[in-house]
Amino acid sequence: MKKLALAGLVAAALTTACNQTKTTETTTSSAPGTAAPADSAKGLNGLFASFWEQQSRLDPLSATAQGDNRFNDRLPNDQTQAFRDTLRTFYQDYLGRLGKFDRAGLDENDKISYDIFQYDLKQRVDGLKLNTWMMPFQQFWGLPISMGQFGSGQGNQPFKTVQDYDNWLGRVRGFTVWADSAIGNFRRGMKAGVVLPRALVVKMIPQMRGVLVKDSAMISGRKPLVVSDPDNSLFISPIKSFPKEFSYDDKKRLSDDYRKAIMTELVPAYSKLATFLQKEYLPKSRATSGINAVPGGPEIYRYYASYWTTTDKTPAEIHALGLREVARLRAEMERMKAQLGFKGTLRQFFESLKHDPKAMPFKTAEEVLAGFRRIQETIDPNLKKMFGRVPKSPFEIRRTEAFREASASAEYNQGSPDGTRPGIFYVPLPKPAEYNVTQGMESLFLHEAIPGHHYQISLQQENTSLPKFRQFAGYGAMTEGWALYCESLGKELGLYKDPYQYVGALNDEMLRAVRLVVDTGLHTGQLTREQAIAYMLDNMPASEEDDTSAIERYMAIPGQALAYKIGQLKIQELRARYEKQLGSKFSLSNFHDELLKDGVMPLAVLETKMDAWAKRQ
């Protein structure tokens, strides 16, 4: 999974519509429909530029993630009805303005832009009809978590100049009001029966404490939360690493200001959230697992399934597809079990791999990182045959920072469009000697790094001819579908020759197939949390702890886990179609270049575009 604020048009839509992303919407400084500075341009691109300018003001956290630092001090309150009304008017206004253009008279690229823009705005408007604003955040993502990521000094918020440091204090000041409003919305949900599952709430409480203190007893609740030293807070990190050119006076002022902000604003806000969740919300949380259990739940899930897959597939269709994919992959796993000479059950095979020294060839973190570098070297010659266009953006492989390594997953952190911040593939290695390649190593690199997220996101961001809303779009089905498709290129790229690495690739793909079953099962009431965990254990080698964490992620963000497999299968379908249709005229390099050159988009729009490309061949 890529690490970004789910930046772009789609991500912002989900935040505003459903309050379920890592980004947080903000208020605008100009009324919807009024001309922003970029509206001086004419025509359709002028409309897009105007929209993007206003959207950046509405969502400055996403703007920061995209390298637009004009609004780095802003964090207005997205938890009010007035803000949701502003968004609704804003989206409907631009839908109306778009409708004044004659689509038939546009060139092919503008037709794509028209279709994506219209699709997305309609999704945003529909999302605002949902009652999920009564669940402002959960344990997987939301503003309280994003504040920790931004304020740690290791995320998207820059801390390079004195102004950068002052900008962060501006965002801190907005968080107290946000927290009070979020509690108010939680209470509205308690009255309406729109509440989070209890299993998730118990994870949220220590998260609220964990950004404030290092004492594990306080974090767990075994001791009362007492914060007397701001230096124990995550938010002190930026002033521990001032740029060397800062003056003594600036360092002194900022140090004082940060400690004051931590003790007078952040500590009270997070403490209030933790206390509310513990004493008021937890007793009212629900024992059920799926979103279907709340008022309007079935409609909410149908929206989410459509939103994340960018298709009109029903939950029942997706569930059936998942069962077929799980059966196919189990058969291949059984074949590999036999090839490796194992005589027991598939579950026993999974357990044996956890202790097989051939699957754990590393002793140190540097050896693991060197292993990933060898993967990059291995695939490089074949990449040149598969891609005519490659990113200009720098790329790095890094060990995940110590402060978050224990609970982090491997991830891709997108670079900045201008190349000043590289794309980074982060690998958490809390116990390097236990790093097991059957959990997916080669496939992980293909997905998270090259040619997966790094190629797709970098090429999209570097394409300055795209309107901004396409340059920074983040459609999960195509984004994650592309990355999963890249895993299937392993043998063509010279990988998966080691049977343990191939088993790892099968495990990775099985995870995405299992998700189709458990996500739809959870949120339509067919599976409880415990049944879903058991299903994952039956079909995958992960531990019960890992599977529990995964199921609780799917409970928190219904539908998101569907995007990967649905997108991969569509891309594979298109490739097979054109290989058969074009025969000797088919070029895999041209297919990949065409697929990526216009950025991500809804799958139906992608299929229309690619069919037109095939006809031109």
Q: Do 457 and 399 have their domain in common? A: yes
Residue whose structure tokens are 């360092």: 251
Does 348 map to a domain? yes
Q: Do 98 and 213 have their domain in common? A: no
Q: Do 513 and 391 have their domain in common? A: yes
- pLDDT reported for residue 30: 36
Choose one of 523, 543, 565: the last residue of a domain: 565
Q: Which residues pair with 397 in a beta bridge?
A: 425
Which residues, 6 or more positions from 297, have their beta carbon under 8 angstroms from its beta carbon?
Answer: 290, 291, 523
Does 301 map to a domain? no
pLDDT at residue 282 greater than cutoff 50: yes
Average pLDDT over residues 276-301: 97
Q: What are 481's two structure tokens? A: 């579908």
Q: Do 95 and 76 have their domain in common? A: yes
pLDDT tens per residue across span 582-609: 999 999 999 999 999 999 999 999 999 9
Choose one of 97, 130, 163: the last residue of a domain: 130
Q: State the Cα torsion 434-438-441-447 to the nearest 10°.
A: -140
Radius of gyration of the chain (CA): 24
Which residues, 6 or more positions from 420, have their beta carbon under 8 angstroms from its beta carbon?
Answer: none
Q: Which residue has the higher pLDDT, 537 or 23?
A: 537
Does 389 map to a domain? yes
Choose one of 130, 146, 181: the last residue of a domain: 130
Does 496 map to a domain? yes
CB-CB contact of 551 with 522 (8 Å): yes
pLDDT tens per residue across span 107-122: 999 999 999 999 999 9
Cα(13)–Cα(24) distance, rounded to whole angstroms? 10
Cα(227)–Cα(230) distance, rounded to whole angstroms? 7
pLDDT tens per residue across span 414-429: 888 888 889 999 999 9
Q: Do 109 and 251 have their domain in common? A: no
Average pLDDT over residues 321-336: 98
Q: Alpha helix (H) ranges present in 5-107?
A: 9-18, 43-58, 60-65, 81-98
Q: What is the DSSP annotation of 405-420? A: HTT---EEE---TTSS
Q: Do 178 and 318 have their domain in common? A: no
Q: Do 217 and 278 have their domain in common? A: yes
Does 606 map to a domain? no
Show the domain range for 68: 1-130
Number of domains in the chain: 3
Strand 423-427 versus strand 395-399 pairing type = parallel
pLDDT at residue 38 greater than cutoff 70: no
Q: Do 121 and 156 have their domain in common? A: no
Q: Do 263 and 369 have their domain in common? A: no
Does 584 map to a domain? no
pLDDT tens per residue across span 127-180: 999 999 999 999 888 999 999 989 999 888 999 999 999 999 999 999 999 999
Q: For 64-68, 80-84, 566-570, 591-595, which range has the lowest pLDDT when averaged over its residues?
A: 64-68
pLDDT over 70 for what percent of the chain? 93
CB-CB contact of 453 with 487 (8 Å): no
Helix (H) or strand (E) holding 315: helix 315-339
Q: What are 18's two structure tokens? A: 């459903």
pLDDT tens per residue across span 371-428: 999 999 999 999 999 999 999 999 999 999 876 787 678 999 888 888 888 999 999 9
Provide the 3-class DSSP secondary structure of residue 613.
helix
Q: What are 279's two structure tokens? A: 């004493």
Provide the 3-class DSSP secondary structure of residue 494.
coil
pLDDT at residue 21 greater than cutoff 70: no
Q: Do 357 and 504 have their domain in common? A: yes
Does 581 map to a domain? no
CB-CB contact of 112 with 161 (8 Å): no
pLDDT at residue 39 greater than cutoff 50: no
pLDDT tens per residue across span 200-213: 999 999 999 988 88
Does 603 map to a domain? no
Q: Do 7 and 105 have their domain in common? A: yes
Number of other CB atoms surrounding residue 222 within 10 Å: 9
pLDDT at residue 44 greater than cutoff 80: yes
Q: Do 100 and 180 have their domain in common? A: no
The verdict on pTM exceeding 0.95 is: no
Residue type present at position 92: Q
Read off the DSSP letter of residue 263: I
For residue 422, give the nearest of 432, 412, 431 by alpha carbon: 412
Q: In what order do the strands lie in the sheet with 423-427?
A: 2-3, 411-413, 423-427, 395-399
Q: Which residues pair with 425 in a beta bridge?
A: 397, 412
Widest CA span of the chain, in angstroms?
A: 72
